[in-house]
Amino acid sequence: MKEHAKHRSLSYYTIKRLLAKGTPFDLKIDGTSMEPYLKIGDYVRIQCGDRNFEEGELVLIDWGDTFVIHRLINRQNMLTKGDNLNTVDPLGLKIVCTAKKVADSINIEAM
């Protein structure tokens, strides 16, 4: 079973506090659901604000006890899915913010 692209280093509540501040922050990917685009060790920047999500964008999703990064595949129905998964995510999940890839794990290791 493929893991969701989530961030376990920061607790759910720490991420909630960062979101409440409203300033952008970076998360390190530790799942495989968004491969090959996002790999374990890559970083994404979480930026809240504009709630006009576009199809194809990476989004931060609140699963109730964790956060995941998946892609918005249908704006009308707010369907999301991990690139490396066979099924769409359950309906009714809360899309919180957009996420943008900022660094590859390979580039970071080379530094």
Q: What is the pLDDT of residues 38-53, one digit of tens each?
A: 999 999 999 887 778 9
pLDDT the model gives residue 4: 53
DSSP 56: T
Among 27, 22, 77, residue whose Cα is nearest residue 53: 77
18-38 b/e (C-beta count within 10 Å ≥ 16 → b) = bbeeeeebebbbebbbbbeeb
| Model confidence at 108: pLDDT above 70 | no
Q: Which two tokens stand for residue 110?
A: 């080379």
| Model confidence at 105: pLDDT above 80 | no
Q: What is the pTM of this model?
A: 0.83
